[in-house]
């Protein structure tokens, strides 16, 4: 049995790693659309097209449940996919839900009216496409009132991480945090709205200050997925053993992924 985990590049490996630690008996198929990355600068229609093409590859590998471990895909494509594209016997989930559950301290099944929560000022660091979609604010508004969200589009950060240029990546984080603080000097919480960003969580935390609670997605997504599987074991499917697939150059992607995770990873062509 296997569950699909998708990202435009390598960032979703942080989610995969957390899911494997949380659910060691479950097999996963990971697909990175490295040929078309990054998604964060693409139009919503383009992201939708690429995401649906990728998810169809998971169906071919027997994965009836797919996690979009990509905030841009979750923001720009997921709702449209769920409403008009995903077959009745399949399921596609995103990464916003666990984050908003944690931020509002409300379970997703809680359909009571929006209410006030403890956190009033939230900084959202994300790709330009995720910021432009306003998907985070929309989903948050269904569950909480009185929360001021200030966004910061972190241009160039995904590219620097994918290229392994962590010196540039750290400099970009500090620059983006400075820009955010000019708009919101004292955020209470910060959301790392891209699955690449957990690799730099300490840099974000240091730049924001120790009094700002930083929410990172990997562990939250893994815990939420484990809970979902406990409630819907039939959605795991009958896929193959764990695989790493890429639309890019398998040798190059394997090398970058190994550096990314600090452990050997071997990709094959999707």
| CA 184 remoteness from chain centre | 24
Q: What angle is formed at CA 112 by the lines to CA 78 and CA 98, rounded to 5 degrees?
A: 40
Q: Is residue 154 annotated as a catalytic residue, yes or no?
A: no
Contact criterion met (CB below 8 Å) for 95 and 71 = yes
Burial class (CB in 10 A: 0-12, 13-18, 19+), 220: buried
**The one catalytic residue among 19, 63, 154, 194:** 194
- DSSP letter at 146 equals S
Q: Do you find a cis peptide bond into 38, omega within 30 degrees of 0?
A: yes
Contact criterion met (CB below 8 Å) for 166 and 196 = no
Going by C-alpha positions, the residue among 37, 85, 40 that lies closest to residue 59 is 85
**The one catalytic residue among 19, 63, 70, 154:** 70
Residues 6+ apart with CB under 8 A from 40: 8, 72, 126, 127, 128, 129, 130, 158, 194
* Maximum C-alpha span of the chain: 50
Q: Is residue 19 annotated as a catalytic residue, yes or no?
A: no
What CA–CA distance (Å, rounded) separates 32 from 267? 9
Instruction: List, by residue number, the catalytic residues.
Output: 70, 194
């Amino acid at each position: 049995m296997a569950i699909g985990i998708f990202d435009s590049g390598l960032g979703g490996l942080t989610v995969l790693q957390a899911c494997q630690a949380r659910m060691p008996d479950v097999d996963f198929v990971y697909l990175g659309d490295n040929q078309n990355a990054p998604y964060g600068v693409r139009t919503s229609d383009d992201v939708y097209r690429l995401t649906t093409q990728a998810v169809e590859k998971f169906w071919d590998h027997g994965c009836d449940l797919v996690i979009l471990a990509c905030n841009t895909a979750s923001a720009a494509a997921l709702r449209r996919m769920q409403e008009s594209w995903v077959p009745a016997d399949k399921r596609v989930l995103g990464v916003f839900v666990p984050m908003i559950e944690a931020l509002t301290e409300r379970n997703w099944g809680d359909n009571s009216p929006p209410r006030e929560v403890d956190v009033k000022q939230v900084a959202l660091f994300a790709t330009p496409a995720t910021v432009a979609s306003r998907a985070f604010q929309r989903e948050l508004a269904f569950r909480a009132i009185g929360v001021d969200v200030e966004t910061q589009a972190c241009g160039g950060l995904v590219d620097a991480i994918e290229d392994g240029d962590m010196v540039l990546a750290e400099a970009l984080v500090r620059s983006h945090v400075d820009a955010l603080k000019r708009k919101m000097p004292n955020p209470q919480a910060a959301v790392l709205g891209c699955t690449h960003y957990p690799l730099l969580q300490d840099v974000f935390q240091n730049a924001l200050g120790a009094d700002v609670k930083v929410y990172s997605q990997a562990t939250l997504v893994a815990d939420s997925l484990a809970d979902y599987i406990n409630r819907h074991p039939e959605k795991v499917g009958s896929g193959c053993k764990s695989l790493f697939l890429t639309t890019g150059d398998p040798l190059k992607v394997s090398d970058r992924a190994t550096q990314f995770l600090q452990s050997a990873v071997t990709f094959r062509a999707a």
